[in-house]
């Protein structure tokens, strides 16, 4: 049986893009509220009935945002607050029972929760069987593969019984949960989505909501770029308990960040992720990859400068004695390095040091508190 392709444009027969969000933390809440503000039909799967009830009582998610204004030479920002309607479910079975399967299921749990969450809910039952997709916007690498493996790997694509395709996107936007049911948009940034028909609609809706979004064929390369920036900034700020900007004022830490990037670039090269094409690298191959190292490290410094007063997500996790995503960031670089025979000693050591904080918590020390 052929399924009719749904239309999400502006015509009279157009339907609302239905988006489900799994993981209603800061970023999940931000994307849910932004998509709802752009006219999407949004629901979220939450951890508890209490969280569901809080959202229902408020009539949705409250988004605190800043709007930029300019008149002649004067530029100012005005803070806005608005509640955007989303439907919250505490039980995944309710989504299926109410025929609320999503066109796009956005997965935004912490990376260390991906496997357990994906195996505890009927993931395929949350997505339309006739061409719906799962989109991960999570930190680190490996989430896409975990999510795809959690689905029955019999078939992907469209048609009766099809398994949803899992797509990877990346985002640099900032958000903070200020109170239950309220999220603050704290930082502008870019969001990149992979090439897919539904991603074009996601781009349009998110752009309508004020985010910088692009669909790109270079998503794997850009994912590696973000991975290396996180690998250089997050563990060092977490271990030394400093905001991002202090990496730039400490020459020893800056040298370590540069070495993290060098190892990451070497692994990307061995993995045949051809990063030079992002920078129009010239000269021979060695020169092109030297330019990649220079550009990536420059981008690390640019991000640290732009977020100088911010405390990285890994540092916040450590301060709150929660698990971190180190295994999916530096740990991914170290594992791929071992697999490919590339030296990644510093990434491995940083991973071990951050993980040691969890052991300290288990033994009654001042490290990470497992949730």
> Residue 207 belongs to a domain with what CATH number?
3.40.50.720
Residues 40 and 189 in one domain: yes
Please write the tens of the pLDDT for every residue from 296-332. Answer: 999 999 999 988 998 999 999 999 889 999 999 999 9
Q: How confident is the model at residue 361 (pLDDT cuts 50, 70, 90)?
A: low
φ, ψ (nearest 5 deg) of residue 211 = -95, 155
| Cβ atoms of 216 and 194 closer than 8 Å | yes
Q: Is the pLDDT of residue 158 over 60?
A: no
> How far is residue 157's CA from residue 177's CA, in Å, rounded to a whole number?
36
Predicted pLDDT at 124: 85
Residues 127 and 88 in one domain: yes
- 212 and 224: one domain? no
- Predicted local confidence at residue 125, as pLDDT: 87
The confidence score (pLDDT) of residue 49 equals 85
Residue-averaged pLDDT of the chain: 88
| Residue 51's pLDDT band (cuts 50, 70, 90) | confident
Domain-embedded: residue 365: no
CATH number at residue 301: 1.10.1040.10
Residue 307 lies in a domain: yes
Lowest mean pLDDT among 90-94, 154-158, 173-177: 154-158
The answer to whether residue 244 scores a pLDDT higher than 90 is yes
- pLDDT at position 102 is 96
* Residues 212 and 242 grouped into a single domain: no
Position 168 pLDDT exceeds 50: yes
Q: Which residue has the tokens 């931000």?
A: 30
Q: Identify the domain containing residue 114 by its residue range.
A: 18-152+163-216
Residue 72 has pLDDT above 70, yes or no: no
Average pLDDT over residues 227-234: 98
User: Are 206 and 258 within one domain?
Assistant: no
- Assigned domain for 6 exists: no
Residues 167 and 223 in one domain: no
Based on the structure, what is the number of domains in the chain? 2
Q: What is the mean pLDDT of residues 102-111?
A: 96
Could you tell me the end-to-end alpha-carbon distance of the chain, in angstroms, rounded to an integer? 46
Indicate whether 210 and 223 sit together in one domain. Answer: no
- Strand boundaries in 25-160, DSSP class E: 41-45, 61-71, 74-84, 87-89, 104-107, 133-136
pLDDT of residue 193: 98
């Amino acid at each position: 049986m052929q399924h009719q392709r749904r239309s999400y444009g502006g015509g009279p027969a157009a339907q609302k893009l239905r988006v489900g969000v799994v993981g209603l933390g800061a970023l999940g809440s931000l994307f849910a509220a932004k998509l709802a503000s752009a006219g999407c039909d949004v629901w979220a799967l939450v951890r508890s009935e209490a969280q569901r009830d809080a959202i229902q009582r408020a009539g949705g998610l409250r988004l605190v945002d800043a709007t930029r204004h300019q008149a002649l030479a004067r530029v100012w920002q005005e803070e806005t607050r608005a509640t955007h309607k989303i439907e919250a479910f505490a039980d995944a079975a309710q989504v299926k029972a109410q025929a609320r399967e999503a066109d796009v299921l956005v997965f935004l749990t912490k990376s260390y929760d991906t496997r357990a969450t994906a195996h505890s809910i009927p993931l395929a039952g949350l997505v339309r069987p006739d061409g719906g997709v799962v989109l991960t916007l999570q930190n680190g690498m490996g989430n896409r593969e975990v999510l795809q493996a959690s689905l029955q790997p019999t078939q992907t694509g469209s048609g009766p019984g099809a398994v949803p395709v899992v797509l990877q996107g990346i985002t640099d936007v900032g958000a903070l949960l200020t109170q239950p049911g309220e999220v603050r948009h704290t930082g502008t940034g870019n969001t990149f989505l992979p090439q897919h028909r539904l991603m074009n609609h996601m781009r349009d809706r998110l752009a309508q909501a004020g985010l910088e979004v692009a669909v790109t064929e270079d998503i794997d390369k850009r994912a590696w770029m973000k991975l290396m920036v996180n690998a250089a900034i997050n563990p060092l700020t977490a271990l030394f308990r400093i905001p991002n900007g202090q990496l730039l004022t400490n020459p020893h830490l800056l040298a370590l960040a540069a070495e993290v990037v060098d190892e990451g670039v070497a692994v990307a090269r061995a993995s045949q992720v051809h990063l030079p094409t992002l920078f129009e690298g010239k000269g021979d191959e060695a020169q092109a990859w030297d330019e990649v190292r220079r550009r990536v490290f420059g981008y690390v410094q640019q991000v640290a400068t732009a977020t100088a007063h911010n405390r990285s997500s890994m540092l916040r996790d450590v301060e709150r004695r929660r698990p971190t995503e180190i295994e999916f960031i530096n740990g991914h670089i170290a594992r791929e390095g071992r697999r490919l025979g590339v030296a990644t000693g510093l990434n491995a050591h940083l991973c071990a040091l951050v993980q040691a904080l969890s052991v300290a918590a288990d033994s009654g020390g001042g490290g990470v508190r497992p949730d």
